[in-house]
Amino acid sequence: MEEVVELYRKNGGEVKDFRKFDGTPDIGYRIQYEKKICEVDVQMFGLVSGDLNPVHFDDGVASKTKFGGRVAHGMLTTSLVSAAVARMPGLIVLLETHFRYTAPVRVGDTVRVVGEVVEKENNRYRLDVKCYAGEKVVVEGWVTVLSW
Amino acid sequence: MEEVVELYRKNGGEVKDFRKFDGTPDIGYRIQYEKKICEVDVQMFGLVSGDLNPVHFDDGVASKTKFGGRVAHGMLTTSLVSAAVARMPGLIVLLETHFRYTAPVRVGDTVRVVGEVVEKENNRYRLDVKCYAGEKVVVEGWVTVLSW
């Protein structure tokens, strides 16, 4: 892991501490998490997934689209939701996700994930989720998780 | 990018060609894509997202869970769906996703994504999607995409 972390950091990637959120999740429990999307994030996400869609990698192609330039992978943005819910108390396991991708995210944007528990059944939680780049909603949806 | 690719390859990551699928998408159009999930994928996905959930990184913690050992991030598995739909003809943009995570994926598993167009409206497609590890369904859901 050290070698990968070193390269990531050297390329400007933001290494986040994995700190758990406080409190006891119940209806109305809110979470927030943010991370900067860097070039190295787009590169690593592209390699890991195999999604080398030119809209994420090729300025020439991307500049001719409605986006007017390269954008980060939508699922790179929503990977931050995984990181956000993982910070809830307990050992968190993802069960279900639903996301609408409403606006593009660019390299250099800081994405902020905001979530709120809207249903609870024993150790199973459903959270409504929004991701923001600045004041703009870039993703909205919901997730259900188990807390072990 | 070269430096990241080199480290990825050196650590056993599977670098995929970005080749477009043939044909003209319509109802019934099928796609298939597979990729091996390696340790370096879990590491990079953890860094990029900031999801360092011990169930993905800590054998001691993960072995005490129902999973009986470390598992890959669910959203690492579904990132392969992004790569799969990106290989459809046209420039593909993700609009909406819905996934249920039905079984764990381990490091070393090859995940196979199978999708089928079930709705088409102009250049907008909805695909039903399943991800398999071996014969086991690990994710099921659907995505909608635009083809520019």
pLDDT per residue over B17-29, tens digit each? 999 999 999 999 9
Q: Is the ipTM of this complex over 0.95?
A: yes
Spans of chain B, pLDDT less than 50: none
Instruction: Tell me if chain B has a CB within 8 Å of the CB of A2.
Output: no
8 Å CB contact of A91 and B11? no
What's the mean pLDDT when you consider all of chain A? 97
Closest by CA to B63, choosing from B104, B4, B8, is: B104
Q: What is the mean pLDDT of residues A68-79?
A: 98
8 Å CB contact of A49 and B4? no
* pLDDT confidence of residue A139: 98
How far from A23 is each of A28, A30, A89, A90, B66, CA to CA, in Å? Answer: 12, 10, 8, 11, 25
8 Å CB contact of A43 and B93? no
